[in-house]
Homo-oligomer: A and B are copies of this chain.
Amino acid sequence: MGTGYLDQLKQEAFEVNMGIVRERLVVLTWGNASSFDRTKGIFAIKPSGVSYSLLKWQDMVLVDLDGNVIDSKLRPSSDTLTHLEIYKGFSSVGGIVHTHSPWATIWAQACKSIPILGTTHSDHFNGDVPCIPYLVKDKVENAYEKETGIQIVKFFEEKKLKPIHMPGCLLSGHASFTWSETSSQAFENAIALESCASMAYHSISLNSKIKFPKYILDKHFSRKHGVNSYYGQK
């Protein structure tokens, strides 16, 4: 294993890219993850269209915030510019996971936000996970992946959503993105999103009028997040 700093970044991104396959969030090559070093302004991301069964950590592609590939013969993921815009727009984000995980994608295709219905959801996402509208035609045709990232950032700004309190979103007709301070936390959020998406689908079919109390949402989110958190070992 490499020991240099950028090798570590590649290894970190590699671990998460393999994790999303192992956890069945990714079928075929429908997903990618990246790890960002904000001090250096460089992120490591999966190469485009390479089969997960052949992937090595050395294959991760380093990209700077201008979109330049650093020292790699492989092309980065076709979704690279979306990752880049999220890193530029969300200053606290250090890792991003994009997957077509089935249940999150089911909501995305339905163009619906995932409603918050219980404490599993509120431990990770402080409210409904928003579904962002279809991009308009000329943005799709001219700079699809870049515009997708820009649209995510703009949506969060307009809705006054904090990226760390709402560490993910759906894209209409497409799939999901999750993020966090590190890529391994972004990976946990991707797992949580998929579980919550599945449970929400079925819970609303049992009861279309669920009103999950705000005070339980707040309690659970604050058990795990913020200065008064008391979950875990610290």
A206: contacting residue among B110, B120, B203, B230, CB under 8 A: B110
A118: contacting residue among B74, B174, B204, B230, CB under 8 A: B174
CA distance A111 to B216 in the complex (A): 14
Whether A109 lies near B118 (C-beta < 8 A) is yes
Count of this chain's copies in the oligomeric assembly: 4
Chain B residues whose CB sits within 8 angstroms of the CB of A191 once the complex forms: 27-28
Chain B residues whose CB sits within 8 angstroms of the CB of A123 once the complex forms: 30
Chain B residues whose CB sits within 8 angstroms of the CB of A78 once the complex forms: 223, 230-231
The answer to whether A50 and B112 touch (CB under 8 A), given A118-B174, A173-B119, is no
Whether A48 lies near B233 (C-beta < 8 A) is yes
Whether B109 lies near A49 (C-beta < 8 A) is no
A109: contacting residue among B74, B175, B199, CB under 8 A: B199
Which one of A6-14, A36-44, A100-108, A161-169 is at the interface?
Answer: A100-108
- A-side residues, CB < 8 A to B, are 27-28, 30, 47-50, 74-75, 78, 100, 102-103, 105-112, 117-120, 123, 134-135, 137, 140-141, 144, 173-175, 188, 191-192, 195, 198-207, 210, 212-213, 215-216, 219, 223, 230-233
